[in-house]
C-alpha cells in the first residue's frame, strides 16, 4: 500500500491516538510503585539475584557486587551477622507458614551503614523438604531507626528529669524531718516537682506523637518517590517514540500538501499533544531526580545576555501570537560571562516567561535584567512582570508546591500540571539563588523574581547589552534528512515494539540504509553472528536495551563474549542519570534515547561508518 493511501493514514492516526491514550494510563499506574528492593537466592548454588532498587538503596551498581549469598555476609555488620545467619538457617528449616523478618545493618558503597528490614521465605523445596530457593524483599528503615534513637534519647531525658525530681523530693523529706516548721515549703517544692514531672511526661507524649507523624510522613514520601523511575521513563517514552515519530513522518513525508486541511490539523494536534505529554514526562523526571538528590548542575562560563536573547526570541513569538507586548530591559551593564549552568538557567527563564505569557490574555510581559554585585555574593537578577490574571496572597503562598496551581480552574483554562514553578525554584536553589513572588494581585498581574549566583566576576568585562546582537527566533525544522546519507550502510535494528520497528526502519531506509529487524535480544545475537560468519557483518547494530527473551544488556554482553567487535549503539527510553554509563558498561559503543531524533540518530550511526560506507 502506498504512503499516500487515505485508508493507511486513517489507520496510522488511530494507532497514534490509541498509543497516546495508553501512555497516559501508564503514567497513572507507574506512580504507584513501592520502595522495596528484591532478592532471590538459589540455595543449591549460592547464586544471589539483587534487584536494581536493592542495589540503589546501598549505592551499588550491579557490577560492584558478587551475585552470591556471600554478598549478604560481606556487607552485613559484624554485630548483626550471627542473627542474620540464624534467621536464614531457621527459615531454611522452617515450615511453610513461617516467614523470616529481621532488622540488620548493611554497608553502603560509600562505607556508611544503613538499617535494612529483610523479609524472606523459602519458595521452593525438593521432595525431601529441603529448601531450593529463597526470596524476599528489603526495605530501608534507617530513618525509622534514627527516629527510635531520638525517641530513646527523649526517654533518657525524661528519666533524668524523674531522677532529679526524685532527689529533690528526698531532700525535701529529709528537710522535713529536721525542721517541722519548714513543712509547708517542702510540700510546695514537692508540688512543683510533680508539676514539672507531669509537664515532662506530657512533652514526651507530644514528642512521641510528632515522631509517629514524622515517620508516617517519611514512609509515605518514600512510597511516593517510586523506585520505578527508570521503568516509568521507558514505559512512557517508548510509545511516545512512535507517536511523535510517526506524526513527524506524516508532516515531512505524508504529502500533506494535497491532504484535507482537517487531516493536517489532526496530525499537528497529535504532534503538539505528544510534545506536551513529553514535557510533562520530563518535568516529572526532573522533579524526581531533584528530590532524589540525583540532579547535577554545571558551573561553566556563559553569556547571560546571549541566554536572555535566545529566551526572548522564543518567547516573543508566543507573545505576538497572543497579541501581547514583550520587552526586555537591562538596568545597567552586566558581566560578559558568569559562572552557572546555562541549560538550567535557560530552562528556568523559559518556564517563568512562558508562564507569564500563558496567564496574560491582554497587555504586556516584561523581562528586566540586573546585575547585583553587592549582595554578599554577586547575583544575576531577572524580574518577570506581566499584566495577567494575577493571584491572591493565599494563592501565592502555595504557588511553588508540586502539582499545584494558584487556581484549580486555571488547569482547565490554561492547561499545565503545576510542576513548572516547582522545578524552576528548585533549579534556582541549585544555581545558588531562588524564585520569589515580589508582587501580585488578582486581575492586576504578577511580578516574579529569579536570582542566581553569578560566581566570581573578577577580571570579567562589563558589557552594554545593547551591543550584543539578539538571537533570531527559532525556525521549525521540517526538512527530511538527505536520502543518501546512509547509502550502503547495513543496520541491524533490535527492537521489540512493532510501531517503533516500523518508524525507525522507515527513517533509516529514507536515509538510504539497508535495515534488518530483530524482535528480541536472542534473535539479534543470532542474526549478528550469522552475518559475521558469512563475511557480511552489519555496519551498526541499534540495540534496544529492554526486550523480551534476552535484554539488550545481555545480548550486547553475549556478542562481546563471542568476540563481536562491530559498533553497537544502545537505543533506550530510559533517561535517568547513569543509564548511559550502564549501557557502555554492558559493551555498547554509544547511547541514543527515545523518542528518536532522526538527524541525531543518523549522525550517531555515521560516526561509526568507514569512509567507503555512506559514500557509495
Q: How many CA atoms lie within 13 A of 164 on its CB side?
A: 11
**Per-residue confidence band for 149, with pLDDT thresholds at 50, 70 and 90:** confident
Range of weakest confidence among 149-158, 210-219, 315-324, 553-562: 210-219
Q: What is the pLDDT of residue 550?
A: 93
Q: What is the pLDDT of residue 141?
A: 93
Range of weakest confidence among 175-179, 443-447, 465-469: 465-469
Asked if residue 612 belongs to a domain, the reply is: no
Same domain, 562 and 438: no
Q: What is the pLDDT of residue 6?
A: 58
Helix (H, G, I), strand (E, B) or coil at 332: coil
Asked if residue 482 belongs to a domain, the reply is: no
* Grid cell digits, residue 357: 505569557
Residue 274 pLDDT more than 70?
A: no
Give the whole-number percent of the chain exceeding pLDDT 90: 34
Helix (H, G, I), strand (E, B) or coil at 480: coil
Same domain, 357 and 317: yes
> Residue 541 forms beta bridges with which residues?
492, 568
**CATH label of the domain that carries residue 555:** 3.40.50.2300
Spatial contact of 517 and 501, defined as CB atoms under 8 Å apart: yes
Query: pLDDT tens-digit profile of 11-69?
Result: 655 665 565 445 444 433 433 356 789 999 999 999 999 999 999 999 999 999 999 99
Q: What is the pLDDT of residue 571?
A: 87
415 CA to centre of own chain? 22
Asked if residue 184 belongs to a domain, the reply is: yes
**Per-residue confidence band for 202, with pLDDT thresholds at 50, 70 and 90:** confident
Asked if residue 274 belongs to a domain, the reply is: yes
Range of weakest confidence among 22-36, 471-485, 492-506: 22-36
Same domain, 355 and 452: yes
Q: What is the pLDDT of residue 580?
A: 75
Residue 345 pLDDT more than 50?
A: yes
**Per-residue confidence band for 187, with pLDDT thresholds at 50, 70 and 90:** confident
Average pLDDT over residues 353-379: 88
Q: What is the pLDDT of residue 105?
A: 95
Same domain, 555 and 438: no
CA pseudo-torsion sign 554, 556, 560, 564: positive
Range of weakest confidence among 22-36, 180-194, 419-433, 443-457: 22-36
Q: What is the largest CA-CA distance in the chain?
A: 116
Asked if residue 477 belongs to a domain, the reply is: no
Query: pLDDT tens-digit profile of 229-239?
Result: 555 655 666 67
Same domain, 280 and 350: no
Q: What is the pLDDT of residue 538?
A: 95
Q: What is the pLDDT of residue 32?
A: 39
The 3-state secondary structure of 421-457 reads: HHHHHHHHHHCCCEEEEEEEECCCEEEEEEEEECCCC
* Grid cell digits, residue 509: 531506509
**CATH label of the domain that carries residue 115:** 3.30.450.20
Torsions phi, psi for 42 (to 5 deg): -85, 105
Q: What is the pLDDT of residue 262?
A: 72
Q: What is the pLDDT of residue 27?
A: 37
Residue 292 pLDDT more than 60?
A: no
Q: What is the pLDDT of residue 410?
A: 45
Asked if residue 483 belongs to a domain, the reply is: no
Residue 519 pLDDT more than 90?
A: yes
Q: What is the pLDDT of residue 225?
A: 55
Q: What is the pLDDT of residue 34?
A: 62
**Per-residue confidence band for 76, with pLDDT thresholds at 50, 70 and 90:** very high
* 226/379: higher pLDDT: 379
The total number of structural domains that make up the chain: 5
Q: What is the pLDDT of residue 48?
A: 93
Average pLDDT over residues 118-135: 90
Q: What is the pLDDT of residue 29?
A: 41
What's the mean per-residue pLDDT of the chain? 80
Same domain, 520 and 418: no
Burial of 332 (0-12, 13-18, 19+ CB in 10 A): exposed
Same domain, 191 and 266: no
Same domain, 220 and 203: yes
Listed residues 195, 224, 253: the one ending a domain:
224
Residue 247 pLDDT more than 80?
A: no
Cα–Cα distance measured from residue 324 to residue 29, given in angstroms and rounded to the nearest whole number: 40
Residue 353 pLDDT more than 50?
A: yes
Range of weakest confidence among 127-141, 233-247, 552-566: 233-247
Burial of 110 (0-12, 13-18, 19+ CB in 10 A): exposed
Same domain, 437 and 374: yes
Spatial contact of 548 and 537, defined as CB atoms under 8 Å apart: no
Cα–Cα distance measured from residue 358 to residue 435, given in angstroms and rounded to the nearest whole number: 18
Residues in the chain: 616
DSSP 72-137: HHHHB-TTTHHHHHHHHHHHHHS-TT--EEEEEEEE-TTS-EEEEEEEEEEEEE-TT--EEEEEEE
Cα–Cα distance measured from residue 602 to residue 595, given in angstroms and rounded to the nearest whole number: 14
Same domain, 318 and 400: yes
Same domain, 183 and 269: no
Give the whole-number percent of the chain exceeding pLDDT 70: 74
Where in the sequence is the domain holding 255, given as residue range(s)? 6-31+228-291
The 3-state secondary structure of 589-611 reads: CEEEECCCCHHHHHHHHHCCCCC
**CATH label of the domain that carries residue 335:** 3.30.565.10
Same domain, 131 and 241: no
C-alpha distances in angstroms, 4 versus 1, 241, 480? Answer: 8, 22, 17
Amino acid at each position: 500500500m502506498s504512503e499516500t493511501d487515505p485508508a493507511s493514514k486513517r489507520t496510522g492516526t488511530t494507532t497514534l491516538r490509541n498509543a497516546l491514550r495508553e501512555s497516559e494510563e501508564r503514567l497513572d499506574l507507574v506512580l504507584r510503585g513501592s520502595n522495596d528492593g528484591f532478592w532471590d537466592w538459589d540455595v543449591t548454588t549460592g547464586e544471589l539475584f539483587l534487584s536494581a532498587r536493592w542495589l540503589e538503596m546501598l549505592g551499588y551498581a550491579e557490577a560492584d557486587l558478587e551475585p552470591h549469598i556471600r554478598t549478604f555476609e560481606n556487607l552485613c555488620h559484624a554485630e548483626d551477622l550471627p542473627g542474620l545467619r540464624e534467621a536464614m538457617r531457621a527459615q531454611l528449616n522452617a515450615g511453610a507458614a513461617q516467614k523470616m523478618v529481621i532488622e540488620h545493618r548493611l554497608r553502603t558503597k560509600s562505607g556508611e551503614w544503613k538499617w535494612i528490614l529483610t523479609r524472606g521465605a523459602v519458595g521452593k523445596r525438593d521432595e525431601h523438604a529441603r529448601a531450593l530457593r529463597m526470596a524476599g524483599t528489603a526495605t530501608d528503615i534507617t530513618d525509622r531507626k534514627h527516629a527510635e534513637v531520638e525517641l530513646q534519647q527523649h526517654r533518657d531525658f525524661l528519666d533524668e528529669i524523674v531522677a532529679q525530681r526524685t532527689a529533690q523530693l528526698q531532700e525535701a523529706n529529709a528537710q522535713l524531718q529536721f525542721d517541722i516548721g519548714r513543712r509547708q515549703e517542702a510540700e510546695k517544692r514537692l508540688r512543683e516537682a510533680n508539676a514539672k514531672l507531669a509537664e515532662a511526661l506530657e512533652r514526651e507524649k507530644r514528642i512521641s506523637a510528632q515522631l509517629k507523624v514524622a515517620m508516617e510522613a517519611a514512609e509515605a514520601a518514600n512510597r511516593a518517590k517510586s523506585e520505578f523511575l527508570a521503568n516509568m521513563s521507558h514505559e512512557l517514552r517508548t510509545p511516545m517514540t512512535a507517536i511523535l515519530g510517526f506524526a513527524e513522518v506524516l508532516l515531512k513525508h505524508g504529502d500533506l500538501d494535497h491532504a484535507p486541511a482537517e487531516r493536517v490539523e489532526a496530525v499537528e494536534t497529535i504532534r503538539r499533544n505528544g510534545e506536551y505529554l513529553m514535557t510533562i514526562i520530563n518535568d516529572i523526571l526532573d522533579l524526581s531526580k531533584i528530590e532524589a538528590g540525583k540532579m547535577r548542575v554545571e558551573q561553566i562560563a556563559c553569556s547571560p545576555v546571549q541566554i536572555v536573547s535566545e529566551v526572548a526570541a522564543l518567547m516573543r513569538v508566543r507573545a505576538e501570537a497572543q497579541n501581547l507586548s514583550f520587552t526586555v530591559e537591562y538596568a545597567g551593564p552586566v558581566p560578559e560571562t558568569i559562572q552557572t549552568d546555562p541549560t538550567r538557567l535557560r530552562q528556568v527563564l523559559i518556564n517563568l516567561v512562558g508562564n507569564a505569557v500563558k496567564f496574560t490574555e491582554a497587555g504586556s510581559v516584561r523581562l528586566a535584567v540586573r546585575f547585583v554585585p553587592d549582595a554578599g555574593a554577586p547575583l544575576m537578577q531577572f524580574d518577570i512582570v506581566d499584566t495577567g490574571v494575577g493571584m491572591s496572597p493565599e494563592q501565592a503562598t502555595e504557588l511553588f508546591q508540586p502539582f499545584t496551581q494558584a487556581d484549580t480552574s486555571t488547569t482547565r483554562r490554561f492547561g499545565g500540571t503545576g510542576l513548572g514553578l516547582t522545578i524552576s525554584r528548585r533549579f534556582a536553589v541549585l544555581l545558588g539563588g531562588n524564585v520569589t513572588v515580589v508582587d501580585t494581585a488578582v486581575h492586576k498581574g504578577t511580578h516574579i523574581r529569579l536570582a542566581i549566583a553569578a560566581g566570581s566576576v573578577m577580571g570579567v568585562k562589563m558589557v552594554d547589552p545593547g551591543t550584543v546582537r539578539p538571537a533570531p527566533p527559532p525556525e521549525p525544522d521540517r526538512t527530511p534528512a538527505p536520502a543518501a546519507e546512509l547509502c550502503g550502510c547495513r543496520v541491524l535494528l533490535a527492537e521489540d515494539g512493532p510501531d517503533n520497528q516500523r518508524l525507525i526502519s522507515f527513517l533509516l531506509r529514507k536515509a538510504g540504509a539497508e535495515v534488518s529487524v530483530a524482535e528480541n535480544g536472542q534473535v539479534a545475537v543470532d542474526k549478528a553472528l550469522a552475518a559475521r560468519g558469512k563475511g557480511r557483518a552489519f555496519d551498526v547494530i541499534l540495540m534496544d536495551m529492554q526486550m523480551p527473551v534476552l535484554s539488550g544488556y545481555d545480548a550486547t554482553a553475549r556478542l562481546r563474549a563471542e568476540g563481536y567487535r562491530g559498533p553497537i549503539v544502545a537505543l533506550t527510553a530510559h533517561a535517568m542519570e547513569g543509564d548511559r554509563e550502564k549501557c557502555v558498561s554492558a559493551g555498547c559503543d554509544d547511547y541514543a534515547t527515545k523518542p528518536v531524533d532522526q538527524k541525531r540518530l543518523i549522525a550517531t550511526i555515521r560516526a561509526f561508518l568507514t569512509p567507503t560506507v555512506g559514500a557509495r
